[in-house]
Amino acid sequence: MNKLYFSLLLLAAVIASLAAIFGTKALQFKAMGAAADAGGPPPETVATFTVEKQTWSPQLRSIGSIEPKQGVLLETEIGGIVERINFENGQRVEAGDLLVQFDIQVELAELKASQAVARLAEVELERARRLRGSGNVPQSELDRAIAEAERAKADVENIRARIDRKTIEAPFSGQVGIRQINLGQFVPSGAPIVALQANETVYANFSLPQQALDQIEVGYTLHLRSDVYPGRVFEGSLTAISPEIDASTRSVALQGTFDNAEGLLRAGLFVRVELNLPVENEVTVVPATAILYAPYGNSVYKIEAGDNGPIARQHFVSIGKRKGDFVSIEKGVEPGDTIVSAGAFKLRNGSAVKVNNELAPQPKLNPTPNNS
């Protein structure tokens, strides 16, 4: 009987202890819930931007390549043995400089013989003229002497032309490339010798769709960029518009001219070209980082006043063109609105926010990132 009584007391004590524990926890959870309902989650830290108006000049963009103003691959006209190479690879040369001399010993000997024959023909011609003047020879003899003198002179010119064709000179000033011949080598007719290019001024060849024809004119400003020179912008002008449209691509070929005194723009370089139209449009802009892209519509978060501090409200926007770090907005925000420019991805509609712009990057129209 005493054991049963003791067991009942022990059971009652355990039940009382469990009830006290669960009751305390329930009160704690209720208090936490009430606190959460009253204060909500902690505010998210974001950066902001004040929507502004900017004046943009419309641009047409394309890709192209660099071509030298003058460029040629020098080749042999007559086969022969290389006797002298008068340049170093990559050297600057002037128009008329001797570059390569082929062996011309045979031609020089033939030239001496032809010159002797030509001198004799001239002497015979003078004698025939004197005799004809005195009536001692017929006109046919004089005509024959004239013909012989002309033929002898032509032989001399022919040999000199062969010598000139074995003497390779720079046709214009520029920079030579890497030679493809060696001393003592027999080079057949038509073989490449070296490339020569004048790079002080270069062309940028590119194309645009035919719809752009009514917007462009010769003289418009061009900006050129290359991955080889990140952050560098080269300025030139549109100098040629093709008179025909490519029937397969329905595009028009264009050519811009750029000063290249530093020699940075080399033939064949891949470039991005921007053609600036001479009109200005006023647009409402926001940083590209402020846009949340989604299949159902693009949006931004506006900063609004809430009961316990600033909150973020989602607003759908219609976006236009992009320039630099900015995106133009056609509908959805107005100049002066404060929007979230960084940190929008972690927000929900009505989220409490805390603004901190100390470390926020400043958007630019012409950004020049170091790692581009």
Cα gap 48→353, rounded to integer Å: 10
| Number of domains, the chain | 3
pLDDT, position 37: 52
- Residue 166's CB is within 10 A of a number of other CB atoms, namely 22
Same domain, 204 and 345: no
Per the domain annotation, does 293 fall within a domain? yes
Same domain, 214 and 251: yes
DSSP tag of 362: P
Same domain, 213 and 64: yes
- pLDDT tens for the chain, residues 1 to 372: 556 666 666 666 667 666 666 666 665 556 455 545 555 678 888 889 989 898 887 888 999 999 998 889 999 988 999 999 999 999 999 999 999 999 999 999 999 999 999 999 899 888 888 887 887 778 888 888 889 989 999 999 999 999 999 999 999 999 999 999 999 999 999 999 999 999 899 999 999 999 989 889 999 999 999 999 988 899 999 999 999 999 999 999 999 999 998 889 999 999 999 998 887 788 888 999 889 998 888 999 998 888 888 888 899 999 888 888 889 999 988 999 999 988 888 888 888 888 888 877 788 776 665 544
Cα gap 102→186, rounded to integer Å: 9
Task: Please say whether the beta carbons of 129 and 199 come within 8 A.
Answer: no
Same domain, 299 and 343: yes
**Global confidence as pTM:** 0.61
Domain boundary among 256, 276, 296: 276
Cα gap 19→10, rounded to integer Å: 14
**pLDDT digits 0-9 by tens, 29-38:** 564 555 455 5
Per the domain annotation, does 172 fall within a domain? no
Residues with Cβ < 8 Å from 278, sequence gap 6 or more?
Answer: 57, 220
Residue range of the domain that includes 134: 106-159
Domain boundary among 226, 252, 276: 276
